[in-house]
């Protein structure tokens, strides 16, 4: 069933059934390009969450005992359905999140590959035999941790949920996932692919609700064995503390404030082009988005000119409109943050070279913005903008740039541009980040790990390391002769 906007009627998925929730409580879903409501999302009650947990507990018993070949077959079938339905899922994503249709459809296709990778990698979650005394078998086994409670934000409506769902199901766990109430239909359509692929009831449960209520309930439940969260640093710290109270392991993929160091020997035009394209992707609403641009003083003029050129070539508009290359921000909160951070920087002496305001039109739009002369004390240099703001700061000494890059408590992503192998190695060794890209600003890939250090969290998603949090390592010592 769809609304008049071509947007599906949103439902939760609990115990193998699509449902509205116990009380019928809902919240509006808004198209950020028009500010018009396009649907309603059901909000779970405590009874709904208990049903989801009970279903996940039973689903875990059923799913973990499913032979790995059959599990892999189901997950590959779901991936094929995702690929087949990518265009439709992309359109839904654009309606509720705002990103351009090409980006949204590409995201839907990529998550199918993420699922394929983890499905196959689970076949290689090997244990081992350890040489021991005669008559004794000493082994290490890898077993699914159990029921996972997962929480994801709105910026990647398909990518965020899939990283949790694919790792959990591939490992043999069951999962209760609370997707964002602002982008619920994309998550619903992902779940539908698993249901249609034959996933047993209860193995995957989708809920929505008041974030604080849902997280408190799921984390405290004795059924839950692992907490997996992607989101802001403050919320991540709160959830990690709650998990710690009940001795639950947690996986935390939190925010950052990614520095870009453009060294004296770099190509300033190529560096500016790549950095600017990455900055304005998804309107800057990416945890790993480059957000502090430290440019050697000898290159800053050329770098700035090219960066502004790219920013001014961005076509801002409705993600469904042909030619749009940057959509709106996701909500009014992000728009207010852009205005506040820009005003603060300007009040401290920064200059706006392009952008700096919102267009005179409906929707949560904010122009791609480039600022220079941004002082160290500006809020923009300390707070992750999570939007299309780019402060350009010159430096004269690499030691100085590294110190600035590492000065914040965050350490998710970092970027460097240099033509020197020795300098690249120094950046790799000294930048405090869990993800580093040299001479490009590429995003996460499913075959390699992503995650942060310091306040940006712990644990890894992607690559073989992605399954570590979802598997328990068990040592078995078997004395053959009693």
Three-state DSSP class for 276?
helix
Instruction: Give dist(CA 24, CA 464) in Å, integer.
Output: 41
Q: Is 287 a catalytic residue?
A: yes
Rg (C-alpha) for the chain, rounded Å, is: 23
Instruction: Give dist(CA 218, CA 150) in Å, integer.
Output: 9
Cα distance from N-terminal residue to C-terminal residue, the chain: 64
What are the residue ranges of CATH 3.40.605.10 in the chain? Answer: 12-254+456-475
- Domain 12-254+456-475: which topology? Aldehyde Dehydrogenase; Chain A, domain 1 (3.40.605)
At residue 452, φ and ψ (nearest 5 deg) are -115, 175
What are the residue ranges of CATH 3.40.309.10 in the chain? Answer: 258-445
At residue 283, φ and ψ (nearest 5 deg) are 55, 30
Q: What is the pLDDT along the chain (482 residues), one digit of tens a residue?
A: 555 568 999 999 999 999 998 777 999 999 999 999 999 999 999 999 999 999 999 999 999 999 999 999 999 999 999 999 999 999 999 999 999 999 999 999 999 999 999 999 999 999 999 999 999 999 999 999 999 999 999 999 999 999 999 999 999 999 999 999 999 999 999 999 999 999 999 999 999 999 999 999 999 999 999 999 999 999 999 999 999 999 999 999 999 999 999 999 999 999 999 999 999 999 999 999 999 999 999 999 999 999 999 999 999 999 999 999 999 999 999 999 999 999 999 999 999 999 999 999 999 999 999 999 999 999 999 999 999 999 999 999 999 999 999 999 999 999 999 999 999 999 999 999 999 999 999 888 999 999 999 999 999 999 999 999 999 999 999 999 87
Residue in 40, 253, 306, 461 annotated catalytic: 253
Q: What is the Cβ-side half-sphere exposure of residue 203, based on CA atoms within 13 angstroms?
A: 28
Ramachandran category for residue 24: left, alpha or beta (phi over 0 → left; psi -120 to 50 → alpha): left
pLDDT of residue 2: 53
* Residue 330, token pair as written in the block: 């996701």
Look-up: residue for tokens 């641009």? 293
Q: Give the dihedral sign, CA 3/5/11/13.
A: positive
As assigned by CATH, the class of the 258-445 domain is alpha beta
Q: Are 257 and 382 in contact (CB under 8 A)?
A: yes
* Residue 101, token pair as written in the block: 């249709």
Residue in 181, 287, 306, 384 annotated catalytic: 287
Q: Are 450 and 456 in contact (CB under 8 A)?
A: no
pLDDT of residue 196: 98
pLDDT of residue 225: 98
Q: What is the pTM of this model?
A: 0.95
Q: Which helix (H) or strand (E) holds 313?
A: helix 300-313
Look-up: residue for tokens 């920087």? 345
């Amino acid at each position: 069933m769809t609304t008049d906007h071509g947007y599906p009627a949103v439902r939760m998925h609990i115990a193998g059934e699509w449902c509205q929730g116990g009380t019928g409580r809902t919240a509006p879903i808004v198209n950020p390009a028009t500010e018009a409501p396009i649907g309603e999302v059901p909000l779970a009650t405590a009874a709904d969450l208990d049903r989801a947990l009970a279903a996940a507990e039973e689903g875990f018993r059923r799913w973990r005992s499913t032979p790995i070949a059959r599990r892999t077959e189901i997950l590959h079938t779901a991936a094929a359905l995702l690929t087949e339905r990518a265009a439709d899922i992309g359109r839904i994503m654009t309606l509720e999140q705002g990103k351009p249709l090409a980006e949204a459809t590409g995201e839907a296709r990529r998550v199918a590959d993420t699922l394929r990778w983890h499905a196959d990698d689970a076949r290689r979650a090997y244990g081992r035999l350890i040489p021991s005394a005669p008559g004794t078998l000493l082994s290490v086994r890898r077993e699914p941790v159990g029921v996972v409670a997962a929480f994801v934000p709105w910026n990647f409506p398909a990518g965020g949920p899939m990283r949790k769902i694919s790792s959990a199901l591939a490992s043999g766990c069951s999962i209760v996932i609370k997707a964002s109430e602002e982008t619920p239909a994309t998550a619903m359509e992902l779940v539908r692919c698993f249901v249609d692929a034959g996933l047993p009831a209860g193995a995957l449960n989708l809920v929505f609700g008041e974030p604080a209520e849902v997280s408190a309930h799921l984390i405290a439940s004795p059924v839950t064995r692992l907490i997996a969260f992607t989101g802001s640093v403050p919320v991540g710290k709160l959830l990690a503390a709650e998990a710690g109270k009940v001795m639950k392991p947690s996986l935390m993929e939190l925010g950052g404030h990614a520095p870009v160091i453009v060294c004296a020997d770099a190509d300033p035009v190529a560096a500016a082009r790549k950095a600017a394209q990455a900055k304005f992707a998804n309107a800057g609403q990416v945890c790993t988005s480059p957000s502090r641009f430290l440019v050697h003083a000898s290159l800053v003029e050329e770098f700035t000119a090219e960066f502004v050129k790219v920013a001014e070539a961005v076509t801002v508009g409705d993600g469904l409109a042909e030619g749009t290359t940057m959509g709106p921000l996701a909500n009014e909160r992000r728009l207010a943050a852009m205005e506040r951070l820009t005003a603060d920087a300007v009040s401290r002496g920064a200059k706006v070279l392009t952008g700096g305001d919102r267009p005179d039109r409906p929707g949560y739009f904010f122009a791609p913005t480039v600022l220079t002369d941004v002082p160290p004390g500006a809020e923009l240099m300390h707070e992750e903008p999570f939007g299309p703001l780019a402060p350009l700061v010159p430096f004269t000494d690499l030691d100085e740039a590294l110190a600035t890059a590492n000065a914040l408590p965050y350490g998710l992503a970092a970027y460097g541009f240099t033509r020197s192998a020795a300098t690249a190695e120094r950046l790799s060794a000294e930048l405090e980040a869990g993800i580093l890209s040299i001479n490009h600003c590429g995003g996460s890939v499913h075959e390699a790990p992503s995650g942060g250090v310091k306040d940006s969290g712990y644990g890894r998603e992607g690559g073989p390391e992605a399954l570590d949090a979802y598997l328990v390592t068990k040592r078995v010592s078997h004395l053959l002769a009693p």
